[in-house]
A and B are shown apart, each in its own frame.
Chain A
Amino acid sequence: MSDKILMKGNEALAEAAIRAGCRCFFGYPITPQTQLPEYMAKKMPKIGGTFLQSESEIAAINMVLGASAAGVRAMTSSSSPGISLKAEGISYLAGSDLPAVIVNIQRGGPGLGGIQPSQADYWQATRGLAHGDFRVLSLAPAGIQEAVDLMGTAFDLADKYRMPVMILGDGIIGQMMEPVRLPDPVTELPEKPWAAKGTRGARKHNILNSLYIQPEELERVVRERYERYAEVEKNEVRVETWLAEDADIIVTAYGSTARICRNAIRAARADGIKVGMVRPITLWPFPSAAYAEAAAHAKGFLDVEMSMGQMIDDVRLAIGCSRPVRFFGRTGGVVPTPAEIRAEIDALCKEVL
């Protein structure tokens, strides 16, 4: 008997969150992530947690803010258009130094877009999520086991750095089923002396706030927050490299797209082309060093995304534009095939080898 169970990505993320100590979930239905709130709706009442279907994505993220301010591990999930609505609340979470986990199971955009897998929210997740100077730590799983493992990481990092953490998946991650080994439920959670759960007359009141009317004070608070972000950049970079040591060509992709690239890389290797892969697991902080290292011997990079090209900016910055970076993307919910990627590898070889 296998010690693994077969789980759909959305459901595995939900179960992993519960095991990571999440006790408050607020969300709103949207394809292709709806099984996540559905799982929470079934499970939370049985463990004394809260599942609440909110009136909107905006309300959901603000409920998360409230629960997080109250010291409880809280989470919401959605898909692209819903994340845009949550943007306001995520800025307030960042500005109030509150932890939270937000799952984005991306679909095609802009606007209502489509419902098939996409990675067109990379810029949103890593840069322009909402107004103000702030960062969100973004994690991009490429499979269901990794999604489960990163969920625990997400809650831990959110608490450690008191900041929102995003798990950036896509329709493939949300919908596919893979065997997973679930972690044991966490038994000890960090103390949160800053939480608003009543003074009990034993301390001065806690205030969770993002308003600083004096510019100098706001600047000081933001700068302090950026010192914490520097720590995140120093300590929390996660990246996978594969067959990269001797590679002439580096294929780079994140999330489920990286899985598809593996097929193409295997095929190219079988034909004697030295191809390797750099796969960011944290999108912010971006694993720039791994790219710089690869650029020392690689002659060209192929960036593959389910978008019109967003991560490619970070790849170019990471290598200081020292090597050609070719781009291949499909968008709108169209998923690239291994054969297409293989053809791009060949084209890049012609260009740089």
Chain B
Amino acid sequence: MSVVFKKPDALCDVTMHYCPGCTHGIVHRLVAEVIDELGICGKTVGVAPVGCAVFAYNYFECDMIEAAHGRAPAVATGVKRANPANVVFTYQGDGDLAAIGTAETVHAATRGENITVIFINNTIYGMTSGQMAPTSLPGQVTTTSPYGRDPKLAGYPIRVCEMLATLSGTAYCERVSVDCVKNVIQAKKAIKKAFENQIAGKGFSLVEVLSTCPSNWGLTPIEALERLRRDMIPYYPLGVYCDRDAFAEVEAK
């Protein structure tokens, strides 16, 4: 009998803690499939964030480090500089990457740090149960923006891909979504490219994955996917924002 579907080898055989309908599971699987396809599990080191993916160190078969909130790109920098032959990735949420860890993110990018960053944007703090994120949309109701995010009070959401694309050290950033099969397939392509870039030494690669949080959005999984398509994609357009070898010009000289 032929196997048509199985758990990727790079994923541990454990039950994940994610809520029903959460898209973290999909993204974990995509990362694991890419690691398997590239045959790099034995030399990969992952860095888990503080946030819903905090237990990611229990879910990947590769070596894992749990970082402080926002510090994953700095920790990954340390790992990569210590052992450049390792493939190093971080897996971070929006609060981690775009609020408390903005400096670490921006500077890892501008240094062209040769790492891969998987960025889950679900416009909310999941782990602490539904507070406003740096990516929460204008008008979005959260427990800390109970009257809806008012840009005059709480400022505007950060568009991470657009911002990082302005930095010369960024080799690649693409915004993808996991709301439907077609987009999941595209998301995997992007994640694979982000790992391949690192192996080729091209510089900082980031994939922003628009994701859902049914529990904290107060929606069913189906409604959550609809919200992603209806509200998030127009504000956070999908696509490639930057694709180059960050050091090609320097090396040419």
Contacts and interface: CB of A to CB of B under 8 A. Distances in A.
Interface stretch (B55-63, B175-183, B193-201, B238-246): B55-63
Given A62-B71, A66-B65, A209-B66, A23 B82 contact: yes
Contact of B86 (A63, A68, A198, A206): A198
Contacts of A66: 47, 65, 67, 74-82
A59 B57 contact: no
A136 to B, nearest CB: 17
Interface string B41-75: 11111010000001101101111111110010011
Nearest to A198: B43
Interface string A56-80: 1011101111111111101000000
A210 interface: yes
Contact of A199 (B61, B67, B82): B61
Nearest to B71: A62
A50 B111 CA distance: 14
A257 B55 CA distance: 47
Contact of B66 (A70, A88, A200, A208): A208
Interface residues of B, number: 37
A201 B41 CA distance: 7
Contacts, number: 141
A59 B103 contact: yes
A3 B48 CA distance: 49
A71 B78 CA distance: 10
A183 to B, nearest CB: 23
A94 to B, nearest CB: 12
Interface in A178-220: 195-202, 205-211
Interface hub of A24, A64, A70, A197 (most chain B Cβ within 10 A)? A70
B103 A199 contact: no
A67 B78 CA distance: 4
B174 interface: no
A64 to B, nearest CB: 6
A62 B67 contact: yes
Interface string A217-251: 00000000000000000000000000000000000
A204 to B, nearest CB: 8
B82 A58 contact: no
B107 A24 contact: no
Nearest to A70: B82
A59 B104 contact: yes
A71 B57 CA distance: 18
A26 B80 CA distance: 13
Nearest to B72: A62
Interface hub of B43, B47, B60, B79 (most chain A Cβ within 10 A)? B79
B77 A52 contact: yes
A70 B45 contact: yes
Nearest to B47: A66
Contact of A196 (B55, B63, B74, B77): B63
A146 B12 CA distance: 49
A207 B42 contact: no
Nearest to B66: A209
Contact of B103 (A55, A68, A202, A206): A55
A63 B122 CA distance: 27
Contacts of B144: none
A124 interface: no
A198 B88 CA distance: 10
B143 interface: no
Interface hub of A64, A65, A68 (most chain B Cβ within 10 A)? A65
Contacts of A71: 82-83
A196 B79 contact: yes
B54 A211 contact: yes
B81 A67 contact: yes
B78 A205 contact: no
A318 B91 CA distance: 48
A70 B86 contact: yes
A89 interface: yes
A74 B107 contact: no
A134 B64 CA distance: 23
A242 B47 CA distance: 50
B83 A70 contact: yes
Contacts of A67: 78-79, 81-82
Contacts of B66: 96, 207-211
Nearest to A197: B83
A89 B45 CA distance: 19
A284 interface: no
B82 A207 contact: no
B42 A72 contact: no
Contacts of A211: 54-55, 66
A62 B72 CA distance: 8
A54 interface: yes
Interface string B90-114: 0000000000000110110000000
Interface of B: 12, 41-45, 47, 54-55, 57-58, 60-68, 71, 74-83, 85-86, 103-104, 106-107
Interface of A: 23-24, 26, 50, 52, 54-56, 58-60, 62-72, 74, 88-89, 92, 96, 195-202, 205-211
14 contacts: A54-B74, A56-B103, A58-B103, A59-B104, A60-B74, A63-B77, A66-B47, A67-B79, A70-B45, A88-B68, A197-B63, A197-B82, A197-B86, A199-B41
Given A54-B107, A59-B74, A195-B63, 18 more contacts: A24-B81, A26-B78, A50-B81, A52-B81, A65-B65, A65-B75, A66-B77, A66-B80, A67-B81, A88-B68, A92-B68, A197-B45, A205-B62, A205-B63, A206-B64, A207-B58, A207-B64, A208-B66
